[in-house]
Structure 1
Amino acid sequence: MKQTIPLLICLLLSLSSDAQEAVDLFIWAGQSNAQGWTGDAAAYPVDDTTLDQSILLNWTFFGQTSSAGEWVPMQAQAGRYPAGHFGPEVSFSRELKRAGYHPAIFKYCLGATGLARDWKAPGAGGIYDHMVEDLQTAIAALKQKGYRVQVRGFIWIQGESDAGDEAAANAYGSNLQKMIDHLRTQVLHRQDLKILLGVDEQHAFVQQRPVVVEAQKNLANQDPNIIYTSMYGLPKADATHLTPAGLVGHGKRIFSAFRIVNGDTREASSSTTFADQWEFRGIAVEEAGYNIWGSSPILGDDGKVHLFVARWPCELKVDPGWRTHSEIAHYIGDSPEGPFVFSDVAIGGEIGGVKGNAPHNPAIHKVDGGYALFYIANDGIQGHPANQYICLAVSESLDGPWKKAGEDGVILRPPSNPDYWNHAAGNGVNNPAFLQHPDGGFFLYFKSEKARMGLAVAENLEGPYVQLPFPVTANDRNIEDGYAFMYNGKFALLTTDNHGMIESGGGILWTSEDGIRFDHYEKGFHRINAYTELEMNSVAVHYGPQDREYAKLERPQLLLKDGKPWYLYAPSGSNIYGGDCTVSYVLRYKGE
C-alpha cells in the first residue's frame, strides 16, 4: 500500500497546523447594506457547525459602536436592534471557511454615507482615513497574536448616497479609483488586491443617476482584479435595505464573486453544473406492497445491472417502517433503465445467525474480484437513531451467499473518545459511502452528528476502520446520503441538500484534493421538478411535508462506467405518479 494510515494522519496534522498559522483578511466597507441596517439579529442565521467561533471579526460603525479595536468571533454586532444586527459578512465568511480559508473580517461601515461627502479622498480627513488608521492597528494586533496575515480582498458596498447628488455621482468613478489606488499602493502594498464592488441598482437615487453603477462596472471591466456584484432579486425590507434573508443571500453572492475574481473556482462559476447533466428516465424499482428506498447499482459479470435496495412493507409507512422492518433486496435488470425484477433478499433481519435489526441504505462495491455490501443497522426502536451503526457483508457472487465481516458484521460505531466531534452522536454513524483509495487502502465516509460527513480509514476491506477525529465537510445545514467516487482527478461526494446550502431539496457535489477536506462544492442534482413536469396536486407524498411545492430525491447512488458517472438512482418520499408506496427513480448522465 503506497499510502498508510499513519501517513494520512501526519498529513492532516500538517494541514491543520498551516491553517492555524495564517489568516485571510478581508476589508468590508460601505454604507447601510454593507452594515446590515435591517439585519435584526433575532433572525441571525443559525450556525449549526459553530463556524463562527473560528472566524475573526473586528467591527466599527463609525462614530457609533464598535468592537473597541478587538478581534472577536463572528457574531451579531451591537446597535440597531435589542439583539444587535448583522450584515452580509456572516454568510460571506462562513462560505470562505467552508472553502478552506481562515477568514478575518475587518468591517468598517456607516449607513447613509457618501464617498465624496463622508469617506472623502485619501488624506482629506474623512471616514476612509480613519478606516486606514484602524485597519493598520488591527493588522498589527493579528500579527502580535502570532498570525501570518494574508490580505485577500476589499469589499465595497456603497454608492446610493453619491447617486443622490449630481456632482458626487459624476465624480464617483474618479473618487472610487483614487481610493482603490491608495489602498493598494500606499496602505496594503498589493497592486493585485482583489476588489469586490456593489451597489443597490434598484435604489431610487441609482435609478435616477445610473452613472454610479456604470462607474463600478467600468472599473471591473478595466481591471481583472476587480469584480462587480449585483443586488438584483434580493429581498428587501423597504425601498433601500435588504431583509435578513437578503443579507445572507448577498453575502453568498459576494463569496461567489470572490471565487471568480480570485481564479480558484472557474469550474464552479460555469453556467453548467453537475446537476444540469442529468436526464430523468423514470422509475427504477417499484414493488407492490413495499416502500422502496436506497437503490445501490453495480454492473455484474453477466452484463446486467444489479440493484441492492432497501424495502419494507408499505403498510408500515415510511417512518417508522424503515427503522424496524427494512431489509435489503436484490433486483436485476437487463439495462440500467430496467425493468428491474426481484431476485432475492440479500440481507434480512439477521445474517449468519447474528442480529442486525432493520438493515438499510445499502452500498454495493466490487473489491478484488469479490463483492462488498455495506449497510446500516440498529439495536431496536427504543434507542433509535442514536444506536445506528455500519455493517459489512462480503460474497464471491452478487447472488450470495453473504457472509458477515469479522465477528458480527459491524465495522463502525460512534467513537468512545469524548473529544471526537461525534462522540455520543444523536444519530450514531450511518449511511456509508465507500471508496477504494487510488494509492491503496479504503475510505469509508459516513453521516453522523449534526448531519455532517465523517471519514474512517482502513488498510484491509474488513477493517479495522479508524475514524478521523473531525468531520470532512463543514456544512451549516443538513446534508446526508453521500456517494463517494473519483471525478476529474478529485475525490467527490454526492450528497443531498436538505435545507438549502444551495437549494433545499436538491443535491451537492463536494470535491476534495485529498479526500479528507471537502472545501469546494457545486450543485449535484436538482429537484425532481427540474427534470420532468409535475402536477404537485397529483403527487403522493409518503414522507416529508404534505404541502411542499417540490419533490426531492434522496440517497443518491451512482452507476459508473469506466470510472465515470453513467446513471443516478435515487428514491423519494414523493411518488410522482401517485402510487401507494415509495419508488426509486433513475436518471441518465448526459455529460462526457
Structure 2
Amino acid sequence: MMKKTKNFKLISMQTILQCLTMLLMAVSLSIQANEIKSTDNYNLTEAMQAVSQDNIFYDKEYYNWGSSIVKGDDGRYHLFYDQMPRKHGFFSWLTDGRVSRAVSDSPTGPWEHVQVALEARGDGHWDQYTVHCHKIYKFDGKYYLYYMSTNSGDMKLTPAQLEEVRRSRWKPDNLRGMMRLNQRIGVAVADSVEGPWKRFDKPLFEPEFPIANMSNNTSVTKRPDGGYLMIIRGDQPDQKRDEIIRMQAVLLADHPLGPWKMQPKPVVKDYNSEDPEVWYDAERKRYYSLYHAFGYMGMITSTDGLNWQRAKHYKVSDKSYKTTDGRLVEVHRFERPGIYLENGKPVVMTAGIKMPDGDTHSVFIPLKH
C-alpha cells in the first residue's frame, strides 16, 4: 500500500512538472507572438501628406494611370507610368496600353515625359495587345519592368472587333471576356533605365491554384533571407461563370526572372481586391502589401510572406486626397497604389486617379518618414 502511494506521488510530481513546462512554453510563445504583433505599427494614413500641383501628372492625349518609381544611375528619379489613348476610351487599357517614362529631380515630381518605354509587340507574340499594370525595379544592377499583356489567340481581330473590345463592358462570352482571360504577366530587362528592353517569348508563368483563369497586377520585393517574392491578382477558382471575384496569390523565386513557384495559400480570398503593392520593412521585420478594395485602400501584413492578415492600421484611405491649399478632393477611382522606398523607408505613395467627370491623372503623395 505504501509503495503504491509513493508511485502515486511520483506520478503526480511528474505531471505537475510537465504542466509547468507546457505552461512556460505557452507563455514564451505568447510573448513571441506579442513581440511580432507589436512590430505591426506602420500607420500609412498618418504618413500621407498634402498634395501640391507639382505632385500631379496629367497628359492631354493619354489617360495617365498607375505609376512606379526607380532611382537611376544618373541620380535622378525615373517614373514609369501606364497610359491609354484618350481617343480609344479609358477601357482601352486591355487593348492599347503602353508604359512611358518621365524624369524628375524629386520622387514626388514635377515629371517630364521623355520616352515611350514599352508597347505591345503585335501579331505572333504572347504580348500582342497592350502593355499595362507594370512595376519597375532595380535588382543587382539591372532594371526589371514587369507588365501585363494579352492576345486574341488564333483569332485575327478586325478593326470593328478591336473597337468592340475597346468600348464594351466585360461579359463571359464576348470578345472582351476572351481577351481578359488571356492576360498574363511578363518581364522586360535592361542594363539602363533608358533601355533597350529585352523581352521573352513566353510569360513568366501560367495561372494555377490557388488562382484561376488569368494573371494581372504584379508586385515584387526582395526577401530578407534571399530570393524574391511576388504577389499577383487572378480569379477565384470557384466563382460563377457570370461573375468576377478577384483574389491574390504569392509566388517565390531565386531570381527576378524566375522560375516563379506558386504558393498554395492565397494572400487574399473571398474578398474582392486588386492592385497589390508589396514591400519588405526591414525595421519591423515584416512584409506589407497595399491594395485597393473598390471603395478604399487597405493594407495587409505578414512576417513570412506566406501567411497574411489585416495590418493594425488596415484602412489607409477613402477615395480622396488632401491638397496643400486645404481642399479635400473626392474622386471616382483611387487605384493602382504604389510605394516608393528610399533607404528602406516609404517616401512616396503613387496612385491612379479618375475624377467624377471621367478625367484621369497620376498623383504622388509625399509620405512623412
Relative to the length of structure 1, the TM-score reads 0.47
Q: Which residue of 2 aligns with 1:523?
A: 314
Q: Which residue of 2 aligns with 1:511?
A: 301
Q: Which residue of 1 aligns with 2:93?
A: 322
Higher relative helix content: 1
Higher relative strand content: 2
Summarize the Cα distance change of 1:374–1:263 in structure 2 as closer, same or farther, 3 Å threshold. Answer: closer
8 Å CA contact retained: 1:328, 1:359? yes
Q: Which residue of 1 aligns with 2:220?
A: 434
Q: Which residue of 2 aligns with 1:414?
A: 207
Task: Confirm or deny that 1:490 pairs with 2:286.
Answer: yes
Q: Deviations over 1:134-170 (max 9, x none)?
A: xxxxxxxxxxxxxxxxxxxxxxxxxxxxxxxxxxxxx
8 Å CA contact retained: 1:494, 1:508? yes
8 Å CA contact retained: 1:293, 1:582? yes
Q: Deviations over 1:24-48 (max 9, x none)?
A: xxxxxxxxxxxxxxxxxxxxxxxxx
Task: Confirm or deny that 1:366 pairs with 2:138.
Answer: yes
Query: Of the candidates 293, 299, 302, which is equivalent to residue 65 of structure 2?
Result: 293
Q: Give 5+ residue unaligned stretches, structure 2.
A: 1-22, 24-33, 153-164, 166-174, 236-244
SS in 2 for 1:384: helix
8 Å CA contact retained: 2:320, 2:329? no
- The letter of the residue matching 2:74 is D
Q: Which residue of 2 aligns with 1:467?
A: 262
Task: Please list, as runs of the form range in 1=range in 2, the aligned pairs for 1:191-206 lying within 5 A after superposition.
Answer: none
Q: Give 5+ residue unaligned stretches, structure 1.
A: 1-189, 191-261, 499-504, 537-549
Query: Of the candidates 477, 493, 496, which is equivalent to residue 271 of structure 2?
Result: 477
Q: Which residue of 1 aligns with 2:231?
A: 445
Moved segments of 4+, more than 6 Å: none
Q: Residues of 1 paired with 2:229 and 2:121: CA distance?
A: 26
Q: Deviations over 1:479-516 (max 9, x none)?
A: 11111111221011111122xxxxxx221221101001
8 Å CA contact retained: 1:556, 1:568? yes
Q: Which residue of 2 aligns with 1:274?
A: 44
Query: Of the candidates 546, 567, 576, which is equivalent to residue 348 of structure 2?
Result: 567
Q: Deviations over 1:108-138 (max 9, x none)?
A: xxxxxxxxxxxxxxxxxxxxxxxxxxxxxxx
Q: Residues of 2 paired with 1:461 and 1:470: CA distance?
A: 21
Q: Residues of 1 paired with 2:255 and 2:321: CA distance?
A: 41
- The letter of the residue matching 1:392 is V
Q: Residues of 1 paired with 2:206 and 2:87: CA distance?
A: 31
Offset of 1:284 from its aligned partner? Answer: 3.4
Task: Confirm or deny that 1:385 pairs with 2:180.
Answer: yes
- The letter of the residue matching 2:254 is E
Q: Deviations over 1:82-116 (max 9, x none)?
A: xxxxxxxxxxxxxxxxxxxxxxxxxxxxxxxxxxx
Q: Residues of 1 paired with 2:77 and 2:315: CA distance?
A: 23
Q: Percent identity?
A: 26
SS in 2 for 1:275: helix
- The letter of the residue matching 2:334 is L
8 Å CA contact retained: 1:506, 1:523? no
Summarize the Cα distance change of 1:443–1:267 in structure 2 as closer, same or farther, 3 Å threshold. Answer: closer
- The Cα RMSD (Å) is 2.5
Q: Deviations over 1:505-531 (max 9, x none)?
A: 221221101001112323353125353
- The letter of the residue matching 2:287 is F
Q: Residues of 1 paired with 2:365 and 2:252: CA distance?
A: 31
Relative to the length of structure 2, the TM-score reads 0.74
Offset of 1:264 from its aligned partner? Answer: 7.9
Q: Residues of 2 paired with 1:318 and 1:411: CA distance?
A: 27
- The letter of the residue matching 2:301 is T
SS in 1 for 2:46: helix
Offset of 1:573 from its aligned partner? Answer: 2.0
Name the larger-Rg structure: 1
8 Å CA contact retained: 2:51, 2:322? no
SS in 2 for 1:377: strand
8 Å CA contact retained: 1:495, 1:524? no
8 Å CA contact retained: 1:351, 1:404? no
RCO comparison, higher one (Cα < 8 Å, 6+) = 2
Q: Which residue of 2 aligns with 1:165?
A: none
Offset of 1:535 from its aligned partner? Answer: 6.6
Task: Please list, as runs of the form range in 1=range in 2, the aligned pairs for 1:91-102 lying within 5 A after superposition.
Answer: none
SS in 2 for 1:478: coil
8 Å CA contact retained: 2:210, 2:249? no
8 Å CA contact retained: 1:494, 1:510? yes
Task: Please list, as runs of the form range in 1=range in 2, the aligned pairs for 1:173-192 lying within 5 A after superposition.
Answer: none
Offset of 1:551 from its aligned partner? Answer: 4.1
Q: Residues of 2 paired with 1:367 and 1:473: CA distance?
A: 27
Summarize the Cα distance change of 1:530–1:347 in structure 2 as closer, same or farther, 3 Å threshold. Answer: closer
Summarize the Cα distance change of 1:329–1:530 in structure 2 as closer, same or farther, 3 Å threshold. Answer: closer
Count of residues in Structure 1 that have an aligned counterpart in Structure 2: 296
Q: Residues of 2 paired with 1:264 and 1:513: CA distance?
A: 8
